[in-house]
Structure 1
């Protein structure tokens, strides 16, 4: 037969076991909740960077277009370096095609430059291999981005025949530094 001490010890041990099990279940539930919140936060941040990629890429595309529109010495050339978009070296007057060099929002680093056949820069793209959230419903200028599997496949470029992203020559070109979007 059990003594009073043994029976109290068994009851106390069961109570501790139930409390421990309750605490473990609570820790698991809190961990799962935080994990889901972290995933949602990460997705939200990627969506914001994706929107910023579209905006910054469009600024570069417009700058390349503006740079190419200036007929200098009978040639319509592409810039040799991205810094040429900040201050056009072909002219003594200050001509800015881009207010500042924006980093790639997906990586925080430099863009991958896209060269034209003559060796000038005609565009930029991200080096990110992440999968985009946005798969369709792009503006007409970027309809080639539809169903792409990586951000690095989104090329923001300009070519003189027919812009690679679908706009015709001269459309939407800022005419002076004051016409550029503020930032």
Structure 2
């Protein structure tokens, strides 16, 4: 009887360890999907802007751009946020339209390095909401999530010294 209890306890421990590994792997896959989907939105905003020199007012504008006689499709569909599983993105806006998106998740990212160049600042992110997929419109200054000028914070090697 004691042997059976010990075997059950060891099996339970192994199962729990396996679940932790599975959860970690799933989170990494969600992060990879967030990078892909977020970049799809950023590219769609860029294509929309380059096609007509204005920013979209809604995600629907990216899917079906009716500013031209033949509608353009900058985004195939409205992708859900891979982290939340819902189509509940926070749209980053200013007075002229949507210039970026970000997740509403306050989860803590696993990935801390090896981001594509344009997203190098993600290394400093505390939450997924800090992963901002922004199209910086030429000539309109830098932007931040609040709509005020400024891109995400510059990376620094030491306080006050920007990376070059």
- Give the structure-2-normalised TM-score: 0.80
Match of 1:92 among 47, 69, 72: 69
Distance 1:160 1:129 in 2: 27
Partner of 2:11: 30
Superposition deviation, residue 70 in structure 1: 2.2
Superposed CA RMSD in Å reads 1.6
Distance 2:58 2:137 in 1: 18
Q: 1:50-107: per-residue Cα shift (whole Å, max 9, x none)?
A: 1010000000000001111123xxxx22111101001112112121111111110111
Matched, 1:112 2:93: no
Matched, 1:155 2:136: no
Q: Which runs of 5+ in 2 are unaligned?
A: 143-150, 153-164
Is the CA contact 2:54–2:96 (under 8 Å) kept in the aligned structure 1?
A: no
Please say which structure displays the higher CA radius of gyration: 1
Distance 1:99 1:156 in 2: 17
Matched, 1:70 2:51: yes
- Structure 1 stretches (4+) deviating beyond 6 angstroms? none
Q: Which has the higher contact order (CA 8 A, sep 6+)?
A: 1
Superposition deviation, residue 119 in structure 1: 4.8
Partner of 1:129: 106
Q: How many residues align?
A: 141
Q: Which runs of 5+ in 1 are unaligned?
A: 1-19, 166-183
